[in-house]
Amino acid sequence: MSFVTASSNSKVDHAIRSQRMGFTLIELLVTLGILSILVALLLPAVLSVRESSRQLVCKNNLRQTGLAIQTFHDANKRLPSLYNGSFEHAGSSIAFPRRYWDEHHFHSWQTAILPQLEQTAVYDRIDQTLAASDPLHQPIVNLLLPVFQCPSTSNYTVFSKVHQYAPNDVIGTAARSDYEAMGGVRLSTTSDENKMVTGTTVALGVWGLPRQSVPKDGTYAGLETTRFRDVSDGLSNSMVVAEVAGRPDLYVRGKPDQPYGVGSVGIMRPAWAISGSYHATLLRKDLGVNVSNSGGIYSFHTNGVNIGLADGSVRMLSNATDIAVLHALTTRAGRETVILE
């Protein structure tokens, strides 16, 4: 009898131990609930760290760009031109834009500073006697250069369309850029008979007007030479470049309004390697920070937009920045005093 009892007790103990080695349904649900709470608590922190890292990369991109512009200025006694090159296009010789669509075929200001950005190998592949939009430049203009793209940007269109003389006249593609020269503040929509912005309708920025006034004989005098000495507001008070991210897609207040916005941003600035409309460098006087990438500075950062000042420093303007402050930073001779913390 004792043998049978011992055997029975052994079986019972084994059964109890087997039951204790597993999880009950309640224990499993509690464990999953705790894990879910931990994930919910940790995920925002992980995303915040990731975004902070992206912001640092973006700021470094702008810092490199600003220093490259300064180095170019030191060597050439002027800022890079918004329109570079001299070439035959559509049967005529072009050395500077005479009409609106001419502005879409030159080599850009970003191309001009490639050597200062340690991208000499790319710069040497560019033929300044051919239009940037020429099919022979397609392998180059489609290069995705990280220094011209913010890692926080997420948009539909990676490669912009290159247009000839009409929105539907597509002749190629080009890699986009999230950074733009700050040309000034648009005071009105008035242009001349060739759709070219005139000096009377813009409060000029660091880059000045990309062409001189029309002389008495009626012909354009060519491109304006802009120097830092023209910035009477001070280099630390004037933007030279800023984020205008997401183009060529149109974004309004954080939401995609129109993929590849042909009527607004899609054709005004094709890419980093190809010049765009001078309109694309101007801020609308009614737009604040992070309202729209059509006529405003814009980023995919939640707390503001990174800007590069003419002294080489980089700052972030919050979404709550007063428009008057934004305009003061955008213009070069408004006689305003801006204090950035």
User: DSSP for 178-199?
Assistant: SEEE--EEE----B-TTS-B-G
DSSP readout, 125-167? T--TTS-TTSGGGHHHHT---GGGS-TT---S-SEEEEESSST
Q: Is the pLDDT of residue 17 over 90?
A: no
Q: Phi first, then psi: what are they for 46, rounded to 5°?
A: -65, -45
What average pLDDT does the structure give for the chain?
83
Beta pairing partners, 87: 94
Residue at 29 is within a domain: no
What is the CB-side half-sphere exposure of residue 306 using CA atoms within 13 A?
28
- Full residue range of the structural domain in which residue 162 is found: 44-340
Integer-rounded Cα Rg, in Å, for the chain is 28
The pLDDT tens digits of the residues spanning 42-54 come to: 666 555 667 788 9
The encoded tokens of residue 126 equal: 């560019």
CA nearest neighbour of 139 among 120, 121, 129, 125: 125
- Report the pLDDT value the prediction gives residue 52, as an integer from 0 to 100: 82
Residues sharing a CB contact under 8 Å with residue 315, sequence separation 6 or more, in sequence order = 306, 307, 309, 340
- Report the pLDDT value the prediction gives residue 2, as an integer from 0 to 100: 47
DSSP readout, 204-268? E-TT--SSPPP-TTSS---PPP--GGG-TT-GGGSEEEEEBTTTTSEEETTEEEETT-IIIIITT
Kindly report which listed range (7-16, 39-48, 239-248) carries the lowest average pLDDT score: 7-16
- Report the pLDDT value the prediction gives residue 267, as an integer from 0 to 100: 60
Residue at 247 is within a domain: yes
Residue at 11 is within a domain: no
Q: What does the alpha-carbon distance between residue 335 and residue 183 come to, in Å, rounded to a whole number?
A: 17
CA nearest neighbour of 202 among 311, 96, 295: 295
* Contact between residue 336 and residue 232 where contact means Cβ atoms under 8 Å apart: no
* Contact between residue 309 and residue 315 where contact means Cβ atoms under 8 Å apart: yes
Residue at 63 is within a domain: yes
Q: Specify burial of residue 317 (Cβ count, 10 A radius: 0-12, 13-18, 19+).
A: buried
The pLDDT tens digits of the residues spanning 202-220 come to: 899 999 887 654 455 555 5
Omega prior to 146 cis, within 30 of 0: no
Query: pTM, whole model, 2 decimals?
Result: 0.81
**Judging by DSSP bridges, how do beta strands 282-284 and 184-186 pair with one another?**
parallel
The pLDDT tens digits of the residues spanning 121-164 come to: 999 999 999 999 999 999 999 999 999 999 999 877 889 889 88
Residue at 275 is within a domain: yes
The pLDDT tens digits of the residues spanning 279-329 come to: 889 999 999 999 999 889 999 998 899 999 999 999 999 999 999 999 999
Total domain count, the chain: 1
- Report the pLDDT value the prediction gives residue 31, as an integer from 0 to 100: 74
The pLDDT tens digits of the residues spanning 161-188 come to: 898 877 778 899 999 999 999 999 988 7
Q: What does the alpha-carbon distance between residue 213 and residue 229 come to, in Å, rounded to a whole number?
A: 20
